[in-house]
Amino acid sequence: MTLRVDGISTGYGEVQVLYDLSIEARPGEILCLLGRNGAGKTTTLKAIMGLLPLTSGSISLDGQTISTLPAHEVPQQGIAYVPQGRRLFKELTVTENIEVGLMTRGKSAQTRERVLAMFPRLRERLNQRAETLSGGEQQMLATARALCLEPSVLLLDEPTEGLQPSMIALIADTVRAMRDEGQAIVLVEQRIEAVLSFADRVAFIENGHGREVVETFALRDDPSLLQKYVGI
Amino acid sequence: MDFGPHLILAILEGAVGASVLALTALGLSLVFGVMRVVNVAHGEFFMLGAVVAWFVASTLAGHPAVGFLAALVIAPLVAGVIAMVVDRIVLKQVEYDPEATIVGTIGVLYILQQSALMVYGPEARPVEPPFSHRIALPWVDWGENGFGFYFPWGLSTTSYKLFVIVAAIAILLTFWLVMSRTRIGLIMRATQLDRETALAFGIPVQRVYSMVFGFGAALAALAAVLIVPIQQAHYLMGHDPLLLSFIVVIIGGLGSVRGTVVAALLIGMSDGIISVFLSPTLSKIIATLLVALVLVFRPQGLYGKKMA
C-alpha cells in the first residue's frame, strides 16, 4: 500500500519540529530518510504512527486518511514500527514481546512461525527476558515483533545502530526480503554506505523541511546532495 | 495469659491485617505502576467498599451469608465503576500529569468522603459476618502429666478471621495468574513498561488506564468487604489503609507486586504484634521510621527497580 505524508507540521508541545513535510512510500520500495541529527527523521516516523498531534497536513494509506485515527488504531491498518533504540518491552520475555506484536492485528501462530523462521536465534531464547538479549538479538526481536503485524508498511528507525557487521547484513537482508514481498519500507539510516547499498529512493530532510527526493543511483554518481544535507 | 499463647494471638491478628493490607496496597501499586498516578483517593475506595457492603447487607434479608456474598460482588463493582468515571472526568482531563493527578485525587478523596457522610451518615455500622465460629486454639505446655495440649483461656480466633486470610491468599494468587498468564495481564504489563510503544502496537492505552484505575479501586473495595465484618464501616475509615498502603508500596518498591506482598506481610504482621504487646501508636511510629530508612538506604524499595 502507498503511504502518503502530505504537508504535515508537528512537534513536541510548544516546540515545532516538522514544517509542511511531505513524503511518499510506495509498495515494493525502500525509502530512506536522510538528514542531520535533529532534522526531524524520527519525528516523521512518530507522526506517521499517530504518536504526535498534527497541527496541519494529513497522512493517508492508499487514499484512506489515517492521521485522524486514535494512535492505537494506526498499527491496525498495517503499519509496523521498529523504533529507535528498539524499545522492547524489556521485562517481558521474547515470547511475550512477539505475542504483543501478534495481538496488534490478531495474527495467528502461523505468522509467529514464519517470523521465528526468519530469526532462528530468537527461537532458542523464547523464555528469556528481552533485556538479557545481546544488542543484535534485541534488534532481531524488535524487527520480529513488527513483522508479526504482517504489515504493508514498515517503518524502521536506525535499525543497524550499534550492531556488528554480520548483524547489519542480516537486518539488511530481512528488509530487502520485505521489500521484495511488496511492502513499503521507510528507513531512517545514518550510515551512507548502507543507504547507498539498499535504499531505492532517498528523501532529504533539513531542519524539519522536506527537501529533494532522489533515486539512490543518482546519488552514487553525484554525491553533492549528500554533501549539502549530511555534510559528507 | 502466658507469653506464648499471647504471641500466637498477636500473629493471627497481624495476619488478618496483613492480608487486607496486601490487597489494598496492591491496588495502589498497580495504579502507580501502570499509570504513574499516585492515587491519594485510594483509601476512599476502600471506605466505599465497606459502606456499599453495609448497604447491600442491610438491604438483603435472610442469612447474613447472602448479603455478604452479594457485597463481595457488588462493592468492588461499584467502586470500580466510580473509579473509571473519575479516570475519565479527572485524570484524563489533566493528561495524567504526575503532579496534577495528586491534586486531582485529593479533591476526589474529599468528594467521596463527604458524599459518604451525607448519604451514609457519621455512624459506624457493623456488617454481620457470614459465619463466625469461635475456634479455641491449643497450646503445648508442661503440665501435671508432662507435655500436653491444653486450651488456654482467651486463646481463640474465629472461623471468619481464618477465612479472611485464606480469601486474601486466593485473591493474590488469582491476581498473579491474571497478570502473568492472561492476555489482559500482558497488555497491562506492556503498557506499564512502555506506554508509547504499547500504542504503536495497537494497545488502547486510554482504555487500559481506565480499566487499571477501576481494577485498583475494586481491589481496595474487596479488601474492605473482607474486613468490614470485623471492623465496621465508617466514612472516615479510609485514612489508615491509605497511609499503610503508601508505607507498604514505598517499602516494597513502587509497581512491584512481589515487593508489595512482602512489605504488606512485614508491616501488617508487625503492626498486629506491636499493637497487641505495646501500643498501636508505637507500631505506626516504627512503620514510618522503616519508610524513612528505606528511602535513605534503598530509595527504590525492596524489590523496586532504579529509575533509569
Domains and CATH numbers, chain A: 3-78+151-229 (3.40.50.300), 88-148 (no CATH)
User: Nearest-CA neighbor of A143 among A132, A129, A131, A158?
Assistant: A158
For A11-33, how does the pLDDT look when each residue is reduced to its tens digit (9 = 90+)?
A: 998 899 999 999 999 999 999 99
Backbone angles phi, psi at B41, to 5 degrees: -85, 5
Query: How close, in Å, is residue B113 to chain A by CA atoms?
Result: 36
Tell me whether residue B41 is in a domain: yes
| Interchain CB contact of A99 with B (< 8 Å) | yes
| Interchain CB contact of A72 with B (< 8 Å) | yes
Which pLDDT score is estimated for A58? 95
**Cα B275 from Cα B228, distance rounded (Å):** 19
Between A82 and B295, the more confident residue is A82
CB contact under 8 A, B187 and A103: yes
Within chain B, which residues score under 50 in pLDDT? 308
Tell me whether residue B221 is in a domain: yes
Residues 189-228 of B with CB under 8 A from A: 189-190, 193-194, 196-206
Q: Alpha helices, DSSP H only, in A4-92?
A: 41-48
CB contact under 8 A, B189 and A92: yes
CB neighbourhood size of A127 (10 A): 9
Which pLDDT score is estimated for B308? 43
Contacts of B189 in chain A (CB under 8 A): 89, 91-92, 96
Q: Strands, DSSP E only, in chain A? A: 3-12, 15-25, 29-34, 54-61, 64-65, 79-82, 153-157, 184-188, 201-206, 209-215
Which pLDDT score is estimated for B307? 53
**Cα A187 from Cα A210, distance rounded (Å):** 15
3-state secondary structure of B109: helix
Tell me whether residue B160 is in a domain: yes
Q: Strands, DSSP E only, in B112-180? A: 134-136, 139-143, 146-150, 156-158
ipTM exceeds 0.85, yes or no: yes
**Cα A24 from Cα A5, distance rounded (Å):** 6
Nearest to A75 among B189, B194, B200 (CB): B200
Nearest to A92 among B190, B196, B205 (CB): B190
Contacts of A75 in chain B (CB under 8 A): 200-202
Which of B197, B203, B258, B307 is the best substitution to test chain A (most A C-beta atoms within 10 A)? B197
For range A36-65, the mean pLDDT: 94
Query: How close, in Å, is residue A224 to chain B by CA atoms?
Result: 36
Q: Helix axis angle, B3-35 relative to B239-252, nearest 10°?
A: 80
For range A157-176, the mean pLDDT: 90
Q: Strands, DSSP E only, in chain B? A: 134-136, 139-143, 146-150, 156-158
Tell me whether residue B162 is in a domain: yes
Which pLDDT score is estimated for A79? 96
Question: How many domains does one find in chain B?
Answer: 1
Query: How close, in Å, is residue B191 to chain A by CA atoms?
Result: 9
**Cβ-Cβ contacts under 8 Å for B140 (sequence gap 6 or more):** B147, B148, B149
Tell me whether residue B109 is in a domain: yes
Which pLDDT score is estimated for A232? 66
Which pLDDT score is estimated for A179? 94
Which of A89, A99, A129, A143 is the best substitution to test chain B (most B C-beta atoms within 10 A)? A89
Tell me whether residue B279 is in a domain: no
Which of A88, A94, A95, A103 is the best substitution to test chain B (most B C-beta atoms within 10 A)? A103
* Bridge partners (DSSP) listed for residue B296: none
Which pLDDT score is estimated for B258? 86
B136: left (phi over 0), alpha (psi -120 to 50) or beta: beta
- pLDDT at A44 > cutoff 90: yes
CA distances (Å), origin A64, targets A52, B197, B247: 19, 23, 52
Tell me whether residue B10 is in a domain: no
For A98-156, how does the pLDDT look when each residue is reduced to its tens digit (9 = 90+)?
A: 999 999 999 999 999 999 999 999 999 999 999 999 999 999 999 999 999 999 999 99
Query: How close, in Å, is residue A105 to chain B by CA atoms?
Result: 8
Query: How close, in Å, is residue B307 to chain A by CA atoms?
Result: 14
Tell me whether residue B5 is in a domain: no
Q: Which domain holds residue B32?
A: 18-237
CB contact under 8 A, A76 and B187: no
CB contact under 8 A, A75 and B202: yes
- Lowest model confidence (mean pLDDT) among A14-28, A39-53, A145-159, A160-174: A160-174
3-state secondary structure of B86: helix
